[in-house]
Structure formats: structure tokens, C-alpha cells
Amino acid sequence: MSPYEIKKEICEIGRRIYNDGFVAANDGNISVKVNDNEFYCTPTGVSKGFMTPDMIIRIDGTGKKLEGKLNPSSEIKMHLRVYRERPDVKAVVHAHPPVATAFTVAGVELDQYILPEAVLTIGAVPTCDYGTPSTEEIPDSLIPYIQNHDAFMLKNHGALTVGNTLTKAFFTMEEVEFNAKICMYAKQLNNGAIDEIPCEQLEKLMELRKKFNMPGRHPGCKKCPNLGTDKCRCKDNAAGSSACASNNDLVAAITKKVLAELSK
């Protein structure tokens, strides 16, 4: 894509997140990686719904402005941290999707497996510790999760999504908010109770993800509803599934030791 086409796409995604109600006023920020030391990003103090290509800023890997009349977003630090930690990421979107953000304000994790599409694309979405905007606190809060996730909830501060394209990063943001809405409605309809997808079906979805060679990172079956029982079969499906396997190994080791003691 030419520089103008990249800028135009950033403006289009900005318009979409604004029209979708994912941001208000001048909230949110977007960036695209051109090469290891060159990025395009949205300006500070401008509504994402009313940007034009001439407003987009070009910066280097330190955040220094290389091109543009306006100044880059003050939260570009978290974008640059993502690009340093994840060379596969080509675009980052930060927004404040209302329902998903409400989960972080209420202290409720967005980690229940309720929609096959959400399981395939994002899995459980971690909530990062609260950090002061425009500081290194938010980039630091991403570090425990950055290698195994493409979507992150920012405590009291919205969501951050990444992708191998800007469209993919935006679609992931949409998936986060849609999943949060369905989860909220289901809780309201059933007094807080939710029917999650069974463990064996989660395993099938992880196999489909492999078969489709879906891009990005995924936590896998991190919170198996059958954790620690003989029904849990989530063996090494993804990075996050090791907890299931290790728990089963521990149960097997304890059982073996108890049987050995009883046979004496």
C-alpha cells in the first residue's frame, strides 16, 4: 500500500470505531507498522470519526515525529511496546467499547467460552492492571499477556487489539465487544449463570484453528470447565492449555503415590 492508502485506511477504521460507538470525542488511537522503525498513527486531540489523510502522523520507533502537521497520540507508547514485543503485529487499535470496558470497571473477567467464533478468534481476553494513560504503566501491564493474546482489556480504560493487518485488528475489537454484549445479556437473562461450551468442543475448535491456519496468537483452553477431572482433554492445544495438562499430571502423580502407600 502507498503512504496515502495507509493513511486513508486509518481514517476509515477511525470512522468505523467512532460510528460504532467504540470511542467518544477524541478518544482512541490507531497505528500501522510500515517497517521496523517507521509507523503511521493517529494524531492527538482529533476525533477518530472526522480524520482526513493529511492529519495522520509518521513516527519512528522512539515516537519521534517524522512527518505531519499535528502531534502523535500521547498513548503511542503502548503501540510501540506491542511492536517491539510482537514482530508479527502490523497494526494496533485502542478504543473504549462500552460493554467490554464495563466488564473491567465491574471487575468481571471476559473469559467465558460462549461463542464458537469468539473462541476461535480471541479466546479468553485478559484484563491488564490499571495504568495511568500516556505513561509506561499501560505498556508494562501488557507484558504478562502480550505473547499469547491478540486482544487485551485495559482496566478502566477500554481495550487494545492487534493484528497482521489493520482490518484484522479492527475486527478483533468488534469481536471483543460483541462477545461482551452476548455475555452480559446471557447473565441478565439467567441470573448470572452461563452455559459455556464444553471442554471437548473447545478442543475441536482449537483443532479447527490449527486447520484453518488462523493468524495471530491465542491463549488456547486456558480456563477449562473440567479442569482437574478425567474429562479434561486439553493437551497442548495452545500456549495457555498447559495448566490443564499440568494439573492432570499432578493428580496422576498424587494418585500413584497414594496407591503405592496403600499397597504396603
Q: Are 70 and 7 in contact (CB under 8 A)?
A: no
Number of residues that make up the chain: 264
Q: CB neighbours of 115 closer than 8 A, spacing ≥ 6? A: 178, 179, 182
Q: Is 75 a catalytic residue?
A: yes
Question: If residue 158 lies in a helix (H) or strand (E), which one and from where to where?
Answer: strand 158-163
Scored b (16 or more CB within 10 A) or e, 43-73 reads bbebebbebeeebbbbbeeebeeeebebebb
State whether residue 74 is helix, strand or coil. coil
Round the CA-based radius of gyration of the chain to a whole number and report it. Answer: 21
Q: List Cβ neighbours of 178 (8 Å cut-off, separation of 6 or more).
A: 115, 118
Q: What is the DSSP letter of 62?
A: T
Grid cell, residue 138, equals: 499501560
Task: From the candidates 9, 75, 174, 177, give the one annotated as an active-site residue.
Answer: 75
Residues with catalytic annotation? Answer: 75
